[in-house]
A and B are shown apart, each in its own frame.
Chain A
Amino acid sequence: MAEVRLSLDGIQDARLVKASRAGDERAFEALVLKYQDQVFNVVYRMVGDRQEAMDLAQETFIKAFQGLDSFNQGMPFRAWLLRIGTNSAIDLLRRRGRARDVRIDAEGVGEPAARGLSPGEFEPRAPASEIPENVSLARETAEVVTKALEMLPDNYKAVVVLHHMEGLSYSEIGRVLGVPRNTAKTWGRRARGLLCDTLEGVM
């Protein structure tokens, strides 16, 4: 992957990485402090379990430390770190046997794979009639969207979490997931389409 122009933040990270490589544990600790919240929240939204997410976040930093020699200093550290985190989360979901990837077709646009969910399967978990009257519509919607997010194919879910919850651009997401920017963007659009479909019975 081509090198990118690093932001000031990225340059600061590169310095910390260099110091960590030279054996400065405090430098790596600074990187852990800086990114632990983001890594944890991304993997938590991916796997949906707090304890598993905590273990995955810890493993992400250990893998990163052990792999610092293979890290390309011209790349943003955050993208590399989140790549390790999301890959670990997807691996865990695969081990659980409920990974739902989408294949990238010839045009680089994903279609739900055979094992994945089709839009038709995206029924809201809690139809309007089953929801207590005292729950506000916004809260109800949020609940449905949260559950629908859990059911998204893993790569769609990763895009939604990284873009809407962590504020990454599609270029950054492309670097994290190892796909072209436009593919990440397409996955994001499809993911939002599926999430909108789940609101059919609610709104």
Chain B
Amino acid sequence: MRDSRDETGRECERAGRAIEDLGDGRTGRVRLLMLRRHVQACPDCGMRLEKMSAVLDALSEMQREQLPEEFTATVMARLLEAVAGAPAGGAGRGRDNRNLFWVAGAAGLGLAIGLALAFIRHLLGREGEDELAAVGHA
């Protein structure tokens, strides 16, 4: 008598574990068959299984909310605003780097033109001095 009660208790424990595993979505077919057989004879475990199944059904049937179509555009607009407002850093840095490249390029070009002009002026200045010296000698 006692042995049969112990056995029933163990079966209920096993059934309880199987029900929990069912919640995790990892109860195999054999365990599921054993569970079904057990709950036919055990109303308590039957109720537990019924509740778990109802919870899982309810969760899986909860409808997904749809986003408005403009969501992506709104995110991207907010993102560009945030990047424009931020000093530097984040993924906006790549674009900032490109801007820096153009600024540095323009500055370099300006410097080169300036140096070239200064050099030409220097050469012209020397020619002028030579001419003046020639006139002086004459």
Contact = CB atoms under 8 A, between A and B. Distances in A.
A188 B24 contact: yes
Interface in A20-39: 20-25, 28-29, 32-33, 36-37
Contacts of A149: 59
B76 interface: yes
B33 interface: no
Interface residues of B, number: 42
Contact of B58 (A41, A53, A146, A188): A146
Interface in A150-197: 160, 164-165, 170, 185, 188-189, 192, 195-196
A47 to B, nearest CB: 12
Interface in A30-86: 32-33, 36-37, 40-41, 44-45, 50, 53-54, 57-58, 61-62, 65-69
B133 to A, nearest CB: 59
A68 B91 contact: yes
Interface in B52-108: 52, 54-62, 64-65, 67-68, 71-72, 74-76, 78-80, 82-83, 86, 89-98
B4 to A, nearest CB: 28
B60 A21 contact: no
Contacts of B56: 164
B50 interface: yes
A65 B86 CA distance: 12
B54 A203 contact: yes
Interface stretch (A5-13, A88-96, A105-113, A137-145): A137-145
Q: Sort chain A's interface into a size bin.
A: 35 or more
B94 A22 contact: yes
Looking at A24, A40, A67, A196, the one whose CB has the most chain B CB atoms below 10 A away is A196
Contact of A69 (B75, B82, B91): B91
Contact of B52 (A33, A160, A196): A196
Contact of A32 (B51, B54, B60, B72): B72
Contacts of A23: 91-98
B132 interface: no
A99 interface: no
Contacts of B51: 196, 199, 203
Given A58-B78, A146-B62, 4 more contacts: A28-B79, A32-B75, A57-B75, A62-B79
24 contacts: A21-B91, A23-B91, A23-B96, A23-B98, A25-B76, A25-B79, A28-B76, A50-B65, A61-B79, A62-B75, A66-B82, A66-B86, A68-B90, A69-B89, A138-B57, A141-B54, A145-B58, A165-B64, A170-B24, A188-B23, A189-B23, A195-B55, A196-B48, A203-B47
